[in-house]
Amino acid sequence: MISKRAFVAVLFTAVALLLTPALAPLSAQEPQIPPTNPPAHPPAEPPAGAANGPQPGPAAKPASPGPTQQGAAPGAQTRRNAIGDFLATGPPPDPEAVARGEKLFVTNCAFCHGSNARGGATGPDLVRSVLVLHDEGTGKTIGPVILNGRPDKGMPKFSFTDAQIKDVAAFLRSRNQAAANRMDYKILDINTGDPKAGEAYFTAHCAKCHSPSGDLAHIASKYDAPSLQNKFLYPIEHRYPGMPGPPPDPRAEKTVTVTLPSGESVSGKLDHLDDFSVSLSDASGEYHSWNIDGASGPRIEVHDPLKAHEELLKQYTDADMHNILAYLETLK
Ligand code: HEC
Ligand code: HEC
């Protein structure tokens, strides 16, 4: 969902662009929305315990990033183009490319930038990024950032092909357009799949956990198509401890069974697991913690209810994705 705050921020920025005569050229080198607190750790490391401390999430970001760079004033034409960019009013990107790009984004970038590209604990909001707006879905300004990363700022580099970069650019463009004009987003019509085929896929792969008349009843009335697609691609965003946001759905919580050398075993909600210790709260709410010391340590089995989603994500073809979405869209 587009938050009201973010939408207002986009509007505000658009107005600021209209009113600022000395509009800086929207250069790839000078992003005008400074990201807050880039992470100190590489992406390969999953959020490990509370060591990170509370990190400001998107809520802590400046709400109104007006242009700050007093560069050479470009001509009116450039300015009008910039405003066009900002409102993302161009033609919508190819829906197939958007779908492929979304998949790439969700697997590679969502960890830091959020699965909606709206920013996460360790990566800035890309929907509001001037650099991304300026890219216009071409990959020209985004490409170098993806390929080179900004290692000193916490953005790793990726070896993407040109085609992959274009797809990610198309996806980000679609998010820009969604943010710029929620009404117009409908024209993207990402809902091009076959609902019957989607239903068959659902019965084979999803029905053991979900029911169209149970937990997913009316799901299409709850979310618009892009959000719905995001939801089944990646239901829960990676969160860091202390990051603001709604608590995770209890059905998505990880559980763990710890079997001690004595044979005794305790199960419960996973609280913390690293190389040295594991802790959980059992059904009665009691907290347990063990040190993991080498070979004699306890046996640990983690159950992640969302593992299935991650596995499925690797298997979907583009057609599957469209078909599933088309089917879910029938669950009004
Ligand atoms: C480990 C976290 C992390 C991952 C993973 C990551 N990024 Fe980033 N990204 C960042 C950070 C931090 C910045 C801000 C860097 C800076 O301060 O200049 C950034 C900046 C960017 C920018 C520039 C935004 C601007 O306005 O300057 C783009 C575009 C971008 N990332 C795209 C991507 C894409 C596409 C992927 C996936 C292929 C990705 N990122 C994966 C952390 C990450
Ligand atoms: C092994 C169990 C499992 C399988 C298989 C599975 N899911 Fe999920 N799914 C979950 C859990 C757990 C959640 C998170 C809790 C929640 O939001 O309902 C979830 C969340 C979702 C959501 C978000 C629901 C909401 O209200 O926000 C959608 C949509 C979804 N799954 C669709 C699918 C589709 C489509 C498939 C098959 C392609 C699938 N799931 C396969 C377990 C599963």
Protein residues with CB under 6 Å of any ligand 2 atom: 202, 205-206, 208-210, 215, 219, 231-232, 235, 249, 251-252, 305-306, 308-309, 312, 324
Residue 1 binned pLDDT confidence (cut-offs 50, 70, 90) = very low
Instruction: Identify the pLDDT of residue 179.
Output: 72
Domain 254-303: CATH class, spelled out: mainly beta
Q: What is the pLDDT of residues 116-129, one digit of tens each?
A: 788 877 888 898 78
Ligand 2 center from residue 305 Cα (angstroms):
9
Q: For 137-148, what is the mean pLDDT?
A: 95
Cα 151 to ligand 2 centre (Å): 34
Place of tokens 């409102």: 87
Mean pLDDT of the chain, nearest integer: 71
pLDDT band, very low/low/confident/very high, at 223 (cuts 50, 70, 90): confident
Q: Please give the pLDDT value at position 122.
A: 80
With a Cβ cut-off of 6 Å, ligand 1 is lined by 31, 33, 35, 38-39, 43, 108-109, 111-113, 122-124, 126, 129, 131-132, 142, 145-146, 150, 153-156, 158, 168
Calculate mean pLDDT across residues 27-49.
37
State the pLDDT at residue 111: 77
Least confident of 121-125, 247-251, 257-261, 294-298: 247-251
pLDDT digits (tens, 9 = 90+) for 276-295: 889 999 999 899 999 887 66
Q: What is the three-class DSSP state of 258?
A: strand
CA distance 192 to 104: 19
pLDDT of residue 196: 95
Q: Nearest C-alpha to atom 1 of ligand 1 is from which residue?
A: 43
Please give the distance, rounded to the nearest whole angstrom, from the Cα atom of residue 123 to the centre of ligand 1: 6
Q: How far is CA 241 from CA 46, 161, 260, 277, 301, in A?
A: 11, 34, 27, 17, 22
Q: How many CA atoms lie within 13 A of 48 on its CB side?
A: 11
Query: What is the distance between the alpha carbons of residues 201 and 305, in angstroms, rounded to a whole number?
Result: 19
Class of domain 24-48+92-189: mainly alpha
Evaluate if pTM is beyond 0.85. no
Q: Which amino acid residue places its CA nearest to atom 32 of ligand 2?
A: 232
* Percent of all residues in the chain with a pLDDT value above 70, rounded to a whole number: 63
Split at pLDDT 50, 70, 90, the class of 254 is confident
Contacts (Cβ under 8 Å, ≥6 apart) of 222:
none
Residue 120: exposure state from Cβ atoms within 10 A (0-12, 13-18, ≥19):
buried
Please name which ligand lies nearest the alpha carbon of 221. Answer: 2
Region 197-222: mean pLDDT is 93
Give the residue, 289 or 56, on which the prediction is more confident. 289
Going from the Cα of 132 to the center of ligand 1, the distance in angstroms, rounded, reads: 10
Query: What integer pLDDT is reported at residue 316 of this predicted model?
Result: 77
Rounded Cα–Cα distance for residues 123 and 111 (Å): 8
* Mean predicted confidence (pLDDT) in 207-229: 87
pLDDT at 37: 39
Whole-number Å distance, alpha carbon 311 to ligand 1 midpoint, is 25
Residue bearing the bigger pLDDT, 26 or 229: 229
